[in-house]
Structure 1
Amino acid sequence: MMTIMRNTKLSTRTAAKEASHERIVCVAARAIRRSGYDGTGVADIMKEAGLTHGAFYAHFASREAMLAEAAGRACAEAAAAAADGVASVPPEQALTYMFHAYLSRENLEQVERGCPLAALASETARQTPEVRRVSTRYIKEMVDLVARQSPDWGQPGSHERALVSVATMVGTLLLARIADEPALSDSLRAAALQHLPVA
Protein backbone atom coordinates (compact mmCIF):
# COMPACT_ATOMS: atom_id res chain seq x y z
CA MET A 1 0.00 0.00 0.00
CA MET A 2 2.81 2.41 0.92
CA THR A 3 4.58 1.64 -2.36
CA ILE A 4 1.46 2.51 -4.36
CA MET A 5 1.04 5.80 -2.48
CA ARG A 6 4.72 6.66 -2.93
CA ASN A 7 4.55 5.87 -6.67
CA THR A 8 1.37 7.97 -7.02
CA LYS A 9 3.07 10.92 -5.30
CA LEU A 10 6.14 10.56 -7.52
CA SER A 11 4.10 10.34 -10.71
CA THR A 12 1.99 13.34 -9.63
CA ARG A 13 5.16 15.31 -8.89
CA THR A 14 6.70 14.24 -12.21
CA ALA A 15 3.55 15.23 -14.11
CA ALA A 16 3.52 18.63 -12.37
CA LYS A 17 7.18 19.19 -13.21
CA GLU A 18 6.59 18.24 -16.86
CA ALA A 19 3.62 20.61 -17.04
CA SER A 20 5.71 23.43 -15.57
CA HIS A 21 8.53 22.69 -18.01
CA GLU A 22 6.07 22.75 -20.91
CA ARG A 23 4.68 26.10 -19.72
CA ILE A 24 8.18 27.61 -19.50
CA VAL A 25 9.10 26.45 -23.01
CA CYS A 26 5.83 27.75 -24.49
CA VAL A 27 6.28 31.14 -22.84
CA ALA A 28 9.94 31.31 -23.92
CA ALA A 29 9.09 30.33 -27.51
CA ARG A 30 6.72 33.31 -27.75
CA ALA A 31 9.10 35.61 -25.88
CA ILE A 32 12.12 35.02 -28.13
CA ARG A 33 10.03 35.88 -31.19
CA ARG A 34 8.59 38.95 -29.50
CA SER A 35 11.72 40.30 -27.76
CA GLY A 36 14.64 38.47 -29.35
CA TYR A 37 17.16 36.19 -27.67
CA ASP A 38 18.96 39.04 -25.94
CA GLY A 39 15.68 40.55 -24.73
CA THR A 40 14.49 37.30 -23.15
CA GLY A 41 15.45 37.00 -19.49
CA VAL A 42 14.97 34.09 -17.15
CA ALA A 43 13.17 36.14 -14.50
CA ASP A 44 10.62 37.48 -17.00
CA ILE A 45 9.98 34.03 -18.47
CA MET A 46 9.45 32.45 -15.07
CA LYS A 47 7.15 35.26 -13.97
CA GLU A 48 5.06 34.99 -17.16
CA ALA A 49 4.92 31.20 -16.67
CA GLY A 50 3.63 31.74 -13.12
CA LEU A 51 6.69 30.19 -11.48
CA THR A 52 9.42 31.43 -9.18
CA HIS A 53 12.79 32.46 -10.54
CA GLY A 54 14.46 29.92 -8.25
CA ALA A 55 12.58 27.04 -9.88
CA PHE A 56 14.31 27.66 -13.22
CA TYR A 57 17.32 25.41 -12.53
CA ALA A 58 15.09 22.47 -11.73
CA HIS A 59 14.18 22.58 -15.44
CA PHE A 60 17.26 23.85 -17.30
CA ALA A 61 21.01 23.74 -16.79
CA SER A 62 21.37 27.27 -18.17
CA ARG A 63 19.60 30.15 -19.92
CA GLU A 64 21.19 28.95 -23.17
CA ALA A 65 19.61 25.50 -22.73
CA MET A 66 16.21 27.17 -22.32
CA LEU A 67 16.76 29.33 -25.41
CA ALA A 68 17.70 26.28 -27.50
CA GLU A 69 14.57 24.43 -26.41
CA ALA A 70 12.45 27.55 -26.96
CA ALA A 71 13.90 27.94 -30.47
CA GLY A 72 13.08 24.30 -31.16
CA ARG A 73 9.51 24.82 -29.98
CA ALA A 74 9.08 28.00 -32.04
CA CYS A 75 10.36 26.22 -35.15
CA ALA A 76 8.17 23.17 -34.53
CA GLU A 77 5.07 25.34 -34.09
CA ALA A 78 5.77 27.26 -37.30
CA ALA A 79 6.51 24.08 -39.28
CA ALA A 80 3.31 22.42 -38.04
CA ALA A 81 1.22 25.48 -38.92
CA ALA A 82 2.69 25.57 -42.44
CA ALA A 83 2.13 21.84 -42.96
CA ASP A 84 -1.45 22.08 -41.67
CA GLY A 85 -2.13 25.00 -44.01
CA VAL A 86 -0.78 23.13 -47.02
CA ALA A 87 -2.85 20.06 -46.14
CA SER A 88 -6.02 22.18 -45.98
CA VAL A 89 -6.04 23.09 -49.69
CA PRO A 90 -5.92 21.11 -52.96
CA PRO A 91 -2.34 20.24 -53.99
CA GLU A 92 -2.38 22.58 -57.00
CA GLN A 93 -3.14 25.52 -54.68
CA ALA A 94 -0.62 24.65 -51.97
CA LEU A 95 2.25 26.93 -53.08
CA THR A 96 0.00 29.92 -53.64
CA TYR A 97 -1.65 29.33 -50.27
CA MET A 98 1.70 28.98 -48.50
CA PHE A 99 3.15 32.17 -49.98
CA HIS A 100 0.02 34.22 -49.31
CA ALA A 101 -0.35 32.92 -45.74
CA TYR A 102 3.31 33.55 -44.93
CA LEU A 103 3.28 37.07 -46.37
CA SER A 104 -0.16 38.00 -45.07
CA ARG A 105 -0.78 41.05 -42.90
CA GLU A 106 -1.94 38.69 -40.14
CA ASN A 107 1.40 36.85 -40.13
CA LEU A 108 3.23 40.17 -40.36
CA GLU A 109 1.55 41.37 -37.18
CA GLN A 110 1.74 38.12 -35.19
CA VAL A 111 5.45 38.21 -34.46
CA GLU A 112 5.33 36.08 -31.32
CA ARG A 113 3.40 33.29 -33.05
CA GLY A 114 4.97 33.49 -36.51
CA CYS A 115 8.10 32.26 -38.22
CA PRO A 116 11.11 32.37 -35.89
CA LEU A 117 13.48 32.90 -38.82
CA ALA A 118 11.89 36.24 -39.71
CA ALA A 119 11.63 37.23 -36.05
CA LEU A 120 15.17 36.27 -35.07
CA ALA A 121 17.25 36.25 -38.25
CA SER A 122 19.97 38.70 -37.36
CA GLU A 123 20.36 37.39 -33.80
CA THR A 124 20.48 33.68 -34.58
CA ALA A 125 23.92 33.82 -36.19
CA ARG A 126 25.34 34.96 -32.83
CA GLN A 127 23.66 32.27 -30.72
CA THR A 128 24.96 28.97 -29.41
CA PRO A 129 25.59 26.06 -31.80
CA GLU A 130 22.45 24.35 -30.39
CA VAL A 131 20.22 27.28 -31.32
CA ARG A 132 21.82 27.55 -34.77
CA ARG A 133 21.40 23.81 -35.33
CA VAL A 134 17.67 24.01 -34.50
CA SER A 135 17.26 26.96 -36.88
CA THR A 136 19.20 25.20 -39.64
CA ARG A 137 16.94 22.17 -39.33
CA TYR A 138 13.91 24.43 -39.65
CA ILE A 139 15.31 26.14 -42.77
CA LYS A 140 15.73 22.70 -44.34
CA GLU A 141 12.16 21.73 -43.35
CA MET A 142 10.77 24.90 -44.93
CA VAL A 143 12.74 24.37 -48.14
CA ASP A 144 11.58 20.76 -48.29
CA LEU A 145 7.94 21.72 -47.70
CA VAL A 146 8.05 24.33 -50.48
CA ALA A 147 9.86 21.93 -52.84
CA ARG A 148 7.30 19.16 -52.26
CA GLN A 149 4.45 21.50 -53.29
CA SER A 150 6.11 22.43 -56.59
CA PRO A 151 4.69 20.88 -59.74
CA ASP A 152 8.26 20.04 -60.82
CA TRP A 153 9.27 18.46 -57.50
CA GLY A 154 12.20 16.11 -58.03
CA GLN A 155 13.21 17.72 -61.33
CA PRO A 156 16.52 19.56 -61.78
CA GLY A 157 16.27 23.07 -60.43
CA SER A 158 13.23 22.48 -58.19
CA HIS A 159 15.33 22.46 -55.02
CA GLU A 160 17.08 25.68 -56.02
CA ARG A 161 13.72 27.34 -56.71
CA ALA A 162 12.56 26.26 -53.25
CA LEU A 163 15.71 27.76 -51.70
CA VAL A 164 15.05 31.08 -53.49
CA SER A 165 11.38 31.00 -52.50
CA VAL A 166 12.16 30.49 -48.81
CA ALA A 167 14.85 33.18 -48.87
CA THR A 168 12.37 35.55 -50.54
CA MET A 169 9.60 34.77 -48.06
CA VAL A 170 11.75 35.19 -44.95
CA GLY A 171 13.61 38.23 -46.24
CA THR A 172 10.40 39.93 -47.33
CA LEU A 173 8.68 39.34 -44.00
CA LEU A 174 11.74 40.60 -42.15
CA LEU A 175 11.92 43.80 -44.21
CA ALA A 176 8.15 44.34 -44.08
CA ARG A 177 8.32 44.21 -40.28
CA ILE A 178 11.25 46.62 -40.16
CA ALA A 179 9.57 49.27 -42.33
CA ASP A 180 7.74 51.90 -40.31
CA GLU A 181 5.72 52.93 -43.36
CA PRO A 182 2.68 50.67 -43.91
CA ALA A 183 2.69 51.45 -47.66
CA LEU A 184 6.28 50.24 -48.03
CA SER A 185 5.54 47.14 -45.96
CA ASP A 186 2.54 46.35 -48.18
CA SER A 187 4.55 47.00 -51.36
CA LEU A 188 7.33 44.64 -50.27
CA ARG A 189 4.86 41.85 -49.62
CA ALA A 190 2.91 42.46 -52.84
CA ALA A 191 6.08 42.51 -54.96
CA ALA A 192 7.34 39.27 -53.44
CA LEU A 193 4.01 37.55 -54.04
CA GLN A 194 4.03 38.70 -57.66
CA HIS A 195 7.47 37.17 -58.28
CA LEU A 196 7.37 33.99 -56.20
CA PRO A 197 7.03 30.94 -58.48
CA VAL A 198 3.65 29.21 -58.26
CA ALA A 199 3.69 27.14 -61.41
Structure 2
Amino acid sequence: MSDGVIVMPYPEGHKLKVRGKIIESAAQAFRKNGIRDISVPFIMKGAGLTHGGFYAHFDNKEQLVAEACRYAISDTIALLQEAADQEKQGTKINAVIDYYLSQYHRDKTEMGCILPTLTGEIARSSAEVRQVFTDELERMIDFISDLAEVDKSTGSALLSNMVGTLMLARSVNNSKLSDSLLTAGKKHAKDLIKT
Protein backbone atom coordinates (compact mmCIF):
# COMPACT_ATOMS: atom_id res chain seq x y z
CA MET A 1 0.00 0.00 0.00
CA SER A 2 1.32 3.42 -1.00
CA ASP A 3 -0.46 6.70 -0.14
CA GLY A 4 -3.68 4.80 0.55
CA VAL A 5 -3.72 3.16 -2.89
CA ILE A 6 -3.86 -0.61 -2.99
CA VAL A 7 -1.97 -2.04 -5.96
CA MET A 8 -3.42 -5.38 -6.99
CA PRO A 9 -1.18 -7.72 -8.96
CA TYR A 10 -2.39 -8.89 -12.36
CA PRO A 11 -3.74 -12.45 -12.39
CA GLU A 12 -1.38 -15.20 -13.49
CA GLY A 13 -1.14 -15.41 -17.25
CA HIS A 14 -2.26 -11.80 -17.77
CA LYS A 15 0.90 -10.71 -19.59
CA LEU A 16 0.74 -13.72 -21.92
CA LYS A 17 -2.93 -13.01 -22.66
CA VAL A 18 -2.18 -9.35 -23.46
CA ARG A 19 0.74 -10.38 -25.70
CA GLY A 20 -1.61 -12.75 -27.54
CA LYS A 21 -4.12 -9.95 -28.12
CA ILE A 22 -1.36 -7.75 -29.59
CA ILE A 23 -0.17 -10.54 -31.90
CA GLU A 24 -3.74 -11.26 -33.03
CA SER A 25 -4.36 -7.56 -33.72
CA ALA A 26 -1.09 -7.33 -35.67
CA ALA A 27 -1.83 -10.44 -37.73
CA GLN A 28 -5.24 -9.08 -38.67
CA ALA A 29 -3.81 -5.67 -39.60
CA PHE A 30 -0.88 -7.10 -41.57
CA ARG A 31 -3.16 -9.52 -43.46
CA LYS A 32 -5.33 -6.64 -44.60
CA ASN A 33 -2.81 -3.84 -45.14
CA GLY A 34 0.71 -5.26 -45.21
CA ILE A 35 3.50 -4.31 -42.80
CA ARG A 36 4.82 -0.92 -43.89
CA ASP A 37 1.57 1.06 -43.56
CA ILE A 38 0.63 -0.33 -40.14
CA SER A 39 1.94 1.48 -37.06
CA VAL A 40 2.46 0.13 -33.57
CA PRO A 41 -0.18 2.55 -32.15
CA PHE A 42 -2.70 1.20 -34.72
CA ILE A 43 -1.97 -2.39 -33.66
CA MET A 44 -2.22 -1.53 -29.97
CA LYS A 45 -5.51 0.28 -30.51
CA GLY A 46 -6.81 -2.81 -32.34
CA ALA A 47 -5.93 -4.86 -29.26
CA GLY A 48 -7.74 -2.37 -27.01
CA LEU A 49 -4.46 -1.15 -25.47
CA THR A 50 -2.39 2.01 -25.36
CA HIS A 51 0.80 2.47 -27.34
CA GLY A 52 2.95 2.78 -24.21
CA GLY A 53 2.45 -0.86 -23.25
CA PHE A 54 3.96 -2.25 -26.43
CA TYR A 55 7.57 -2.40 -25.22
CA ALA A 56 6.61 -4.45 -22.17
CA HIS A 57 5.87 -7.27 -24.64
CA PHE A 58 8.13 -6.74 -27.68
CA ASP A 59 11.58 -5.29 -28.31
CA ASN A 60 10.51 -3.74 -31.63
CA LYS A 61 8.02 -3.95 -34.50
CA GLU A 62 10.18 -6.52 -36.32
CA GLN A 63 9.76 -8.97 -33.42
CA LEU A 64 6.01 -8.44 -33.57
CA VAL A 65 5.98 -9.00 -37.35
CA ALA A 66 7.77 -12.33 -36.85
CA GLU A 67 5.29 -13.43 -34.15
CA ALA A 68 2.32 -12.27 -36.22
CA CYS A 69 3.56 -14.33 -39.20
CA ARG A 70 3.86 -17.41 -37.01
CA TYR A 71 0.39 -16.84 -35.55
CA ALA A 72 -1.25 -16.13 -38.93
CA ILE A 73 0.16 -19.26 -40.60
CA SER A 74 -0.97 -21.42 -37.67
CA ASP A 75 -4.41 -19.84 -37.94
CA THR A 76 -4.56 -20.48 -41.70
CA ILE A 77 -3.47 -24.11 -41.30
CA ALA A 78 -6.22 -24.57 -38.69
CA LEU A 79 -8.83 -23.07 -41.07
CA LEU A 80 -7.66 -25.24 -43.95
CA GLN A 81 -7.65 -28.33 -41.73
CA GLU A 82 -11.22 -27.50 -40.73
CA ALA A 83 -12.22 -27.25 -44.41
CA ALA A 84 -10.54 -30.63 -45.04
CA ASP A 85 -12.22 -32.23 -42.02
CA GLN A 86 -15.67 -31.11 -43.19
CA GLU A 87 -15.21 -32.84 -46.55
CA LYS A 88 -17.06 -36.17 -46.47
CA GLN A 89 -17.42 -37.06 -50.18
CA GLY A 90 -14.44 -35.84 -52.22
CA THR A 91 -10.78 -35.49 -51.50
CA LYS A 92 -9.66 -33.32 -48.60
CA ILE A 93 -7.12 -31.39 -50.67
CA ASN A 94 -9.80 -30.40 -53.18
CA ALA A 95 -11.88 -29.01 -50.31
CA VAL A 96 -8.84 -26.99 -49.20
CA ILE A 97 -8.25 -25.69 -52.74
CA ASP A 98 -11.93 -24.74 -53.04
CA TYR A 99 -11.83 -22.87 -49.72
CA TYR A 100 -8.49 -21.17 -50.33
CA LEU A 101 -9.51 -19.97 -53.79
CA SER A 102 -13.05 -18.98 -52.80
CA GLN A 103 -14.61 -15.53 -53.07
CA TYR A 104 -15.04 -15.60 -49.30
CA HIS A 105 -11.32 -16.13 -48.65
CA ARG A 106 -10.40 -13.57 -51.29
CA ASP A 107 -12.65 -10.94 -49.70
CA LYS A 108 -11.87 -11.63 -46.02
CA THR A 109 -8.26 -10.50 -46.16
CA GLU A 110 -8.13 -9.66 -42.44
CA MET A 111 -8.89 -13.31 -41.62
CA GLY A 112 -7.26 -14.98 -44.60
CA CYS A 113 -3.85 -16.37 -45.44
CA ILE A 114 -1.04 -13.89 -44.81
CA LEU A 115 1.19 -15.24 -47.60
CA PRO A 116 -0.45 -13.35 -50.50
CA THR A 117 -0.34 -10.06 -48.58
CA LEU A 118 3.17 -10.16 -47.14
CA THR A 119 5.27 -12.12 -49.63
CA GLY A 120 6.49 -9.02 -51.48
CA GLU A 121 7.30 -7.10 -48.30
CA ILE A 122 9.07 -9.96 -46.53
CA ALA A 123 11.88 -9.93 -49.07
CA ARG A 124 12.83 -6.48 -47.72
CA SER A 125 12.41 -7.37 -44.03
CA SER A 126 14.99 -8.20 -41.37
CA ALA A 127 16.82 -11.52 -41.23
CA GLU A 128 14.74 -12.48 -38.16
CA VAL A 129 11.44 -11.87 -39.95
CA ARG A 130 12.62 -13.63 -43.10
CA GLN A 131 13.71 -16.68 -41.08
CA VAL A 132 10.35 -16.98 -39.33
CA PHE A 133 8.54 -16.46 -42.64
CA THR A 134 10.72 -19.15 -44.25
CA ASP A 135 10.06 -21.62 -41.42
CA GLU A 136 6.32 -20.94 -41.56
CA LEU A 137 6.21 -21.22 -45.36
CA GLU A 138 7.93 -24.61 -45.09
CA ARG A 139 5.35 -25.66 -42.49
CA MET A 140 2.57 -24.63 -44.87
CA ILE A 141 4.18 -26.53 -47.76
CA ASP A 142 4.45 -29.63 -45.54
CA PHE A 143 0.79 -29.31 -44.54
CA ILE A 144 -0.36 -29.01 -48.18
CA SER A 145 1.96 -31.83 -49.34
CA ASP A 146 0.79 -34.20 -46.59
CA LEU A 147 -2.88 -33.42 -47.18
CA ALA A 148 -2.53 -33.88 -50.95
CA GLU A 149 -0.34 -36.96 -50.44
CA VAL A 150 2.26 -35.59 -52.84
CA ASP A 151 6.00 -34.97 -52.66
CA LYS A 152 7.27 -31.64 -51.36
CA SER A 153 8.09 -30.36 -54.85
CA THR A 154 4.51 -30.88 -56.01
CA GLY A 155 3.21 -29.46 -52.73
CA SER A 156 5.37 -26.36 -53.27
CA ALA A 157 4.01 -25.92 -56.79
CA LEU A 158 0.45 -26.38 -55.53
CA LEU A 159 0.83 -23.80 -52.76
CA SER A 160 2.58 -21.40 -55.16
CA ASN A 161 -0.32 -21.73 -57.58
CA MET A 162 -2.85 -21.05 -54.83
CA VAL A 163 -1.00 -18.08 -53.31
CA GLY A 164 -0.28 -16.52 -56.71
CA THR A 165 -3.89 -16.93 -57.81
CA LEU A 166 -5.18 -15.34 -54.63
CA MET A 167 -2.71 -12.44 -54.94
CA LEU A 168 -3.89 -11.69 -58.46
CA ALA A 169 -7.59 -12.16 -57.65
CA ARG A 170 -7.27 -9.68 -54.76
CA SER A 171 -5.27 -7.19 -56.85
CA VAL A 172 -7.65 -6.48 -59.73
CA ASN A 173 -10.61 -4.08 -59.59
CA ASN A 174 -12.67 -6.10 -62.07
CA SER A 175 -14.87 -8.62 -60.22
CA LYS A 176 -15.45 -10.80 -63.31
CA LEU A 177 -11.71 -11.05 -63.93
CA SER A 178 -11.09 -11.76 -60.24
CA ASP A 179 -13.69 -14.55 -60.21
CA SER A 180 -12.28 -16.04 -63.42
CA LEU A 181 -8.79 -16.05 -61.90
CA LEU A 182 -10.12 -17.99 -58.90
CA THR A 183 -11.90 -20.48 -61.18
CA ALA A 184 -8.83 -21.00 -63.37
CA GLY A 185 -6.59 -21.28 -60.31
CA LYS A 186 -8.80 -23.99 -58.78
CA LYS A 187 -8.79 -26.00 -62.01
CA HIS A 188 -5.03 -25.84 -62.44
CA ALA A 189 -4.35 -26.51 -58.75
CA LYS A 190 -6.46 -29.65 -58.92
CA ASP A 191 -4.79 -30.69 -62.20
CA LEU A 192 -1.41 -30.51 -60.43
CA ILE A 193 -2.36 -33.29 -58.05
CA LYS A 194 -4.32 -35.61 -60.35
CA THR A 195 -2.87 -39.08 -60.41
Task: Give the TM-score category using the shorter length.
Answer: 0.7 to 0.9
The one of 22, 31, 37 aligned to 1:39 = 37
- Once residues 115 and 48 of structure 2 are traced to their aligned partners in structure 1, the CA distance between those partners, rounded to angstroms, is 28
- Once residues 142 and 55 of structure 1 are traced to their aligned partners in structure 2, the CA distance between those partners, rounded to angstroms, is 32
Secondary structure (helix, strand or coil) at the match of 2:87 reads: coil
Q: Partner of 2:87 in structure 1?
A: 89
Q: Partner of 1:73 in structure 2?
A: 71
Secondary structure (helix, strand or coil) at the match of 1:112 reads: coil
Aligned-residue offset at 1:92: 5.0
Secondary structure (helix, strand or coil) at the match of 1:22 reads: helix
Q: Partner of 2:173 in structure 1?
A: 180
Q: Partner of 1:18 in structure 2?
A: 16
**1:75-133 deviation digits (Å, cap 9, x = unpaired):** 11111211222233248511110111000000000111111101112111111222222
Name structure 2 gaps, 5 residues minimum: 1-7
Q: Could you tell me the percent identity over the aligned residues?
A: 33
Corresponding residue pairs, total: 185
Say if 2:69 and 2:136, in contact at 8 Å, map to a contact too. Answer: no
- Once residues 102 and 70 of structure 2 are traced to their aligned partners in structure 1, the CA distance between those partners, rounded to angstroms, is 24
- Once residues 24 and 149 of structure 1 are traced to their aligned partners in structure 2, the CA distance between those partners, rounded to angstroms, is 31
- Once residues 48 and 188 of structure 2 are traced to their aligned partners in structure 1, the CA distance between those partners, rounded to angstroms, is 46
Greater helix content: 1
Which range moved further: 142-151 or 31-40?
Answer: 142-151
Pairwise mapping of residues 21-170 of structure 1 onto structure 2 (< 5 A)? Answer: 21-90=19-88, 93-150=91-148, 153=150, 158-170=151-163
What RMSD, in angstroms, separates the aligned Cα atoms of the two structures?
A: 1.8
- Once residues 91 and 124 of structure 1 are traced to their aligned partners in structure 2, the CA distance between those partners, rounded to angstroms, is 38
Residues 17 and 175 (structure 1), Cα distance of their counterparts in 2 relative to 1, 3 Å cut = same
Is residue 193 from structure 1 mapped to residue 186 from structure 2 by the alignment? yes
Say if 1:30 and 1:113, in contact at 8 Å, map to a contact too. Answer: yes
Residues 133 and 90 (structure 1), Cα distance of their counterparts in 2 relative to 1, 3 Å cut = farther
Residues 77 and 150 (structure 1), Cα distance of their counterparts in 2 relative to 1, 3 Å cut = closer
- Once residues 88 and 140 of structure 1 are traced to their aligned partners in structure 2, the CA distance between those partners, rounded to angstroms, is 25
TM-score relative to the length of structure 1: 0.85
**1:112-157 deviation digits (Å, cap 9, x = unpaired):** 1111101112111111222222222222222222222335x4xxxx
**1:6-38 deviation digits (Å, cap 9, x = unpaired):** xxx6561x4322222111111011011111110
